[in-house]
Structure 1
C-alpha cells in the first residue's frame, strides 16, 4: 500500500518546478534559474534545453557537466542553472528536465528575455502597462506600437 501511495504521488504532483515563468537579464550579464524537484529523483540525470516545445528542445547542458556559459549545480533537491555572458540570441523558451528511461521526462519551462539595456527593459514595462482599451487606442498590425482607432 505504501508503494502504491509513493507511485501515485509521483504521477499527481509536480516532480520538478521552475522558480519563475519569466526570467529577465541584460546583455553581457548573468542570470540564474532554480528548478526544485522531489528528492526521490536526486540520482536521476537532469538537463537544461532550449526550445518552445518540450519534445523538441535542444539540450544545452546535462548533469554532471556544464558548458563554458551554462553552469549546472544539482543539490539533491534543486537544479540551479546559471547562464553567463548573456546575448540577445539567448532570448527564448527553456526547459529543465529530469530524464526517465521508461516514462516521459518530468519538465518545467521558463521564458528568458535578454535586454540590451535597462532603458529597453523600462520601455517594454511601460508598453505592457499601457491600457489601450481605456485610452481609445488599438494595436496596429505589427503589434509593436499602438495606433489611434
Structure 2
C-alpha cells in the first residue's frame, strides 16, 4: 500500500484522484469539552458509545453512524441515529437510510459530538482545483478517469456490520 499522503502520480494533472486511501482521511471530533482527531485507517468505522466501535464517543447511541471506505475510494457516511448531516440536514433516523459521500469539510453530528471529515484535496475525488473558476458554468478541462482500485481492497467483506448493544 502506498503512502497515505502521496499526491497524484502526475503532479500537472487536473485531478483529485490518487492512490487508494490517500490524502490522510480523518475525522475532527469535538464536543463542548473535548476535541481530538481520529485517523481513518480501516475500511469500516463504527461510531458510537458501544465498547466495540472503532470510534467510541460517550453520549452517542451505541451505534450512531458508520463510515465505509467503498470500492470507488470514497468515504461514505451512514447516519443510523438522529443527527445533522450535510446531504439532508432535516432528515431523521425514522425516514430510512441517510447516507452521503464525505468531502473535505463535510460535517455531521452524533449526540453531543460534531464530526468533520478531512482529506487532502488531491485525493478527495471532488472537482479539480477545489471547484470551478468563474462560477458553475465556466469551462473547465475534464478530469482523468477514476483509478481502478479493485485489487487494493477486499470485496468479500460486508460493507456494514451492525453491533447490538
TM-score of the two chains, using structure 1 as the length reference: 0.31
Structure number with larger C-alpha Rg: 1
Of Structure 1 and Structure 2, the greater helix share is in 1
With the length of structure 2 as denominator, give the TM-score of the two structures: 0.28
Q: Quick check: which one's strand share is greater?
A: 1
